Amino acid sequence: MDIWSWICELPNSDEWSESPIFELASSGGQADDHEGSTRSIHLRADRTSGSESEAAVIFTVCLQGFHPPLNAEKPLWVSEKCHLARENPFLPLFLQLLQEITSLSPNAPNSTCPRSQLQKLKPEPITWIMNSHSPESFSTFFNLVFTLRLFWLCACDAPTEAGSLYFQSLLPSALETVSSNSSPVLRTFLVTVGVDTELCFMRTLGYIVAKWCIFRELGVGLQALLVPPPSRSPGFSYSTEAHGVWALKGYVPIMTMMKVTSSNDTLKTQIPRLDTKESILKYTLAHQQLEALVQLEYSVAFHDGFIQVRACVDNIRLQVAKLGFKNQNNEAEYGEEKHFPSRVRIWVGPEVGATYVVGGLSLTRSTENTEREVEIQKIVKGNFEKLKLSKAKAVARTSTKTKTKNWRMDQDAEGNAAIFDAVLYDSATGQEVATGKPYGEAGGDQVHGLRKRYVAANRPFTKTGSVVLAGDENGEVGWKLSREMEGSVLKWRIGGEFWISYWPNEAKTSFFETRYAEWCDEVDLPLIPPKMVV
């Protein structure tokens, strides 16, 4: 499917005998399928006139062959006018698609920037995105944008068969593009439009992926759809470098993350029928997405004979966002049930095989050696009078005081890569949450120290369920590089492994699970002295 190429190749002549049609998807044509009719979703271009009789085109999404009525076109969506004689004639179409995707994104509870307050996208940065990439790259991104906008039309405003055709024929190719991080335009778009629009766009994408995964697990005619293999990092991530900060961002719907542990390990991974409370709970948990942000500060100092590069954690923010709307996902019963981050492992360092590191990697944080207060009391009583039997009595009392934290921070190294590791522990049992499980009998309530985890005074999360790991607990790392690298821009690798878990919070259930995702990317390390900066 290459919608953008078809749009760009539309005739620009004043003579337009008929309206061109691009078939987005089709199925049917069987003898017993509504008298052999073919069901199709297509895009039609209609010639019209704009201001001062300018030649313009309007795009319409239509259905054909669906019931009811049979063999009658039903318009689902109509675009704004695109003036063919102007520069970037299809910019209004692209802006409209993006703006509607943003306005239809899932609600973010307690958001300080609701959709109603988002301003319309400015045309200048969008124009730059369209003109700064090759037609092939932009075509991939435009197809993704059009597919996301088409979701709401097929899911909400069309017959059920149209929604099934959308999930079978249109969505898989778009998900393949995102899961493989093969769209450079998507990265440029997210960096350019600002974080508020970025969140709306990625949560719309996450919501659609969640629905796709649910339908596939239920086996609603989608058995042929493929899930990205575990060896491929799910979701989408990208990295940036600016003003002495390296940043890694990632988005991944929960259902696409690799499962590590689960209460259903002995069963086939499947969402059961939605007729029990546990099924409703799993349905609610499926509408969630991990959103990760890793920011590392770095500095470069030039010395006689070597270059000193230092880095430290600015902050690591992990959030599990709910992908739902009002009156959805059984908020009354399971509103506080969600996955939570249970471990994060971040690494940063030179590219693999780099030979310009001359001093090795320096770590500045010691392995935690917990101090314990030990209190010992001994009491000895005896009777040594001249008796036939001497009596003696001894009593000893020992008490130990320790200070514990839910999160343990470690600093480590692997080759020339520095590793920052944060692990969540169950305060009641002392076990690692990402690899452990809550205690309890099968089918019964689970016992652990993470209940009421969003309201308790000693909670390991914020009230919204997110985690912030700042640099005050992670320390600094450093590398010494050869002075011969001065004036160059090196590629530095940055990556992370992320674990999220679900243990019951307020719900009475025996269900639990832990899922995992990994991202890795490259960032720039400029080794340019101040005197060389123009």
- Compute CA 502 distance to the chain's CA centroid, rounded to the nearest angstrom: 17
Q: Tokens at residue 114, please? A: 């609701």
| Exposed e or buried b per residue across 163-190, where buried means at least 16 C-beta atoms within 10 angstroms of its C-beta | bbbbbbbbbbebbebbbebebebbbbbb
> Average pLDDT, stretch 116-120?
66
Give residue 161's pLDDT.
85
Which two tokens mark 364?
A: 């500045």
**Residue 23 reports pLDDT greater than 80:** yes
Q: How far is CA 188 from CA 192, 202, 238, 240, 427, in A?
A: 6, 14, 10, 10, 42
> Model confidence at 328, in pLDDT bands (50, 70, 90)?
low
Lowest average pLDDT, out of 85-89, 328-332, 509-513, goes to 328-332
Q: Is residue 291 part of a domain?
A: yes
Which stretch, 25-29, 136-140, 309-313, has highest mean pLDDT? Answer: 309-313
| Ramachandran assignment for 53, one of left (phi > 0), alpha (psi -120 to 50 degrees), beta (any other) | left
pLDDT on residue 478: 95
Query: Residue 220 carries which DSSP code?
Result: S
Mean pLDDT of 309-319: 95
State CA 242 to chain mean position distance. Answer: 22
Quote the domain boundaries for residue 271: 246-360+411-534
Residue 475 located in a structural domain: yes
359 C-beta neighbours (distance < 10 Å), count: 13
Domain-located, residue 338: yes
The pLDDT value given to residue 443: 53
Return the pLDDT at 128: 93
Would 46 be classed as within a structural domain? Answer: no
The string of DSSP letters for 384-443 reads: -SS-SS-EEEEEEEEEEE----SEEEEEEEETTEEEEEEEEB-TTT--BTTT---B--TT
Instruction: Supply angle C-alpha 415, 421, 423, rounded to 5.
Output: 150
Instruction: Name the 3-class secondary structure at 67.
Output: coil
Query: Is the model's pLDDT at 17 over the cut of 60?
Result: yes
CB neighbours of 440 closer than 8 A, spacing ≥ 6? 446, 447, 510
pLDDT at 353 over 60: yes
Does residue 492 carry a pLDDT above 70?
Answer: yes
Neighbours of 495 (CB within 10 A): 21
Mean of pLDDT values over 233-262: 90
Query: Exposed, middle or buried by CB within 10 Å (0-12, 13-18, 19+), for 380?
Result: exposed
**Is residue 346 domain-resident?**
yes
Cα–Cα distance list, 236 to 47, 115, 199, 281, 522 (Å): 38, 22, 12, 26, 14
Per-residue pLDDT, averaged over 507-514, amounts to 89
Whether the link from the prior residue into 69 is cis, omega within 30° of 0, is yes
Q: In the chain, how many domains are there? A: 1
Q: How does the average pLDDT of the chain come out, rounded?
A: 82
- The answer to whether residue 1 is domain-embedded is no
| Digit-coded pLDDT (tens) for 395-450 | 666 666 666 678 999 999 999 999 999 999 998 888 999 999 888 655 566 788 88
Q: Provide the pLDDT for residue 401.
A: 62
Give, as one character, the DSSP assignment of residue 243.
T
Rounded mean pLDDT, 286-315: 94
Q: How far is CA 286 from the centre of its chain?
A: 13
* Least confidently predicted of 23-37, 50-64, 85-99: 23-37
How many Å apart are CA 342 and CA 319, to the nearest integer?
A: 11
- Measure the CA–CA gap between 282 and 485, rounded to whole angstroms: 53
Question: Counting runs of H as helices and runs of E as strands, what totals does the chain give?
Answer: 10, 20
In which band, very low, low, confident or very high, does the pLDDT at 326 lie, cut at 50, 70 and 90? Answer: low
List the structure tokens of 73. Answer: 């076109």
What is the rounded average pLDDT of the residues 31-56? 73
**Residue at 85 is within a domain:** no
In 3D, which of 349, 364, 368, 366 has the Cα closest to residue 309?
349
CA distance 454 to 505: 9
**Strand spans (E) along 79-191:** 82-83
Residue 322 inside a domain? The answer is yes
Sign of the Cα torsion 458, 460, 461, 462 reads positive
